[in-house]
Amino acid sequence: MTTSANNQGTAIAHTNIALVKYWGKIDSELTLPYTGSLSLTLDKFYTETKVTFNEELSADKLVVDGIPQDNVNKAKKVLNRVRQLSGIESFAKVESANFVPTSAGFASSASAFAAMAAASASAAGLQLSSKDLSRLARLGSGSASRSVFGGFVEWLPGTDDESSYAYPLEDVVLTDIFVLAVNISSKKKQVSSGEGMKRSASTSPYYADWQKVVAEDLINIKHALKTDDFSLLGQIAEANAMRMHSLTLSSLPPFTYFEPGTLKVIKLVQDLRSHGVECYYTIDAGPNVKVLVQSNNLEAVKTALSEQFGATKISEAKPGPEIELLDN
């Protein structure tokens, strides 16, 4: 990605849903995961972020949806790396607008930190490759490394800062896919993703098996994408999600992101499938559910979900684009 030197940059990044999940960091400072992961970037949900380096600022400032934020630690990790790479010494103001519910399992941090990475690099006049931009975004949020790219994306766990980055998958034949997001709750999570990962990795007796499961799931789901096998993709995504959530239930102390509405969606998807309407669910670190479906069953699934939860709670998305820099 090439940029021109200035002190202000603006970028849009879209959120993603992990079909093979990332759950646990081997290095929290660099956000290096225990396992790889694979996601689909969505067109419906995105974050627009403007970063301005200003010599008059006495500290970095973060404003999200018009509200000043007290905790800027993750943002500072990205900004500090940009300052290190560019030689800029001034602090920055980060203004972010989320077109996706925050901290509710819709991966708002992915789009937020991907947009912030691109905007801050642009503001500093850096010329970063997409790979290096992915590495930069990763410092703020692991899933943000994937939101740099559009479509299906794999994040390589790596062993250090240089080798942990995401890249877009090629040779993907499976293109007929829609995601129906069911908004069960937009409340902030009681257990953050970071805290949940740490607890699961350190206390769940099944965590070693989880790492083996992810390695197998990555191989199989990439095969599904290359052979246009929606059934296989859905089965892997659904099982992988439930195995991730089994880690939360087997942690000490146990916790869950599920709410009653979450279980209702799961049962509805299972009922639809038993009647020949093929669809699959996946759930990230939150109560909200994403339902994977193809065009031939899209309206039937959307209608069933709307009847149970209300049309305003259902959002339709399809594969989304890579990160975009805007003119200031």
For 140-167, write each residue's pLDDT tens digit. Answer: 999 999 999 999 999 999 999 999 999 9
Q: Are residues 148 and 204 in the same domain?
A: no
Q: Are residues 199 and 286 in the same domain?
A: yes
Angle at the Cα of 262 from the Cα atoms of 103 and 15, rounded to 5 degrees: 40
**Quick one: average pLDDT of 238-260?**
98
Please give the pLDDT value at position 279.
Answer: 98
Shared domain check, 150 and 59: yes
69 falls within a domain: yes
Instruction: Please indicate whether residue 103 or residue 279 has the higher confidence score (pLDDT).
Output: 279
* Threshold 0.85, pTM exceeds: yes
Residue 137 backbone dihedrals phi, psi, to 5 degrees: -60, -35
* 3 within a domain of the structure (yes/no): no
Residue 322 resides in a domain: no
Report if residue 299 sits inside a domain.
yes
Q: Look at residue 50 and give its three-state secondary structure.
A: strand
The answer to whether residues 129 and 182 belong to one domain is no
Are 168 and 290 contained in the same domain?
no
pLDDT at 4: 37
The reply to whether 75 and 141 lie within a common domain is yes
Main-chain dihedrals φ then ψ at residue 189, nearest 5 degrees = -70, 140
Domain-embedded: residue 18: yes
Q: Report residue 100's pLDDT band, with 50, 70 and 90 as the boundaries.
A: confident
| CATH code, domain with 242 | 3.30.70.890
Mean pLDDT of 274-281: 98
Does residue 254 have a cis bond before it (omega within 30 degrees)? no
| pLDDT score, position 108 | 82
- Asked whether residue 36 carries a pLDDT value surpassing 90, the answer given is yes
- Given this model, what pLDDT does residue 328 score? 67
Mean per-residue pLDDT of the chain:
94
**Whole-angstrom distance, CA of residue 168 vs CA of residue 166:** 7
Do the domain assignments include residue 40?
Answer: yes
Confidence of residue 106 (pLDDT cuts 50, 70, 90): low
Backbone angles phi, psi at 6, to 5 degrees: -165, 180
Of 103, 137, 172, the position where a domain reaches its end is: 172
Same structural domain, 201 and 303: yes
290-301: pLDDT as tens digits: 999 999 999 999
- Reply yes or no on whether the pLDDT at 44 is more than 50: yes
End position of a domain, from candidates 172, 206, 239: 172
**Same structural domain, 31 and 165:** yes
How much is the pLDDT for 102?
55
User: Which residue range forms the structural domain that includes residue 208?
Assistant: 178-317
The confidence score (pLDDT) of residue 104 equals 45
> 242: pLDDT confidence band, cut at 50, 70 and 90?
very high
Clarify whether residues 16 and 165 are in a common domain. yes
Query: Does any domain span residue 12?
Result: yes
pLDDT of 103 higher than 50: no
Q: Which of 156, 172, 188 is the last residue of a domain?
A: 172
What distance in Å separates the CA atoms of residue 301 and residue 280, rounded to the nearest whole number? Answer: 10
pLDDT digits (tens, 9 = 90+) for 10-21: 999 999 999 999
Q: Does one domain contain both 25 and 60?
A: yes
Residue 118 lies in a domain: yes
98 and 66 fall within a common domain = yes
Q: Percent of the chain at pLDDT above 70?
A: 96
Domain match, 40 and 110 both: yes
CA count, 13 A, side-chain hemisphere, 270: 8
Q: For residue 152, what is the domain's CATH number?
A: 3.30.230.10
The total number of structural domains that make up the chain: 2
109 or 152: which leads in pLDDT? 152
Beta strands, E only, the chain: 8-20, 25-27, 32-33, 37-54, 61-64, 67-68, 91-99, 152-156, 165-168, 178-182, 279-282, 289-293, 314-317, 324-326
pLDDT tens sequence across 118-146: 999 999 999 999 999 999 999 999 999 99
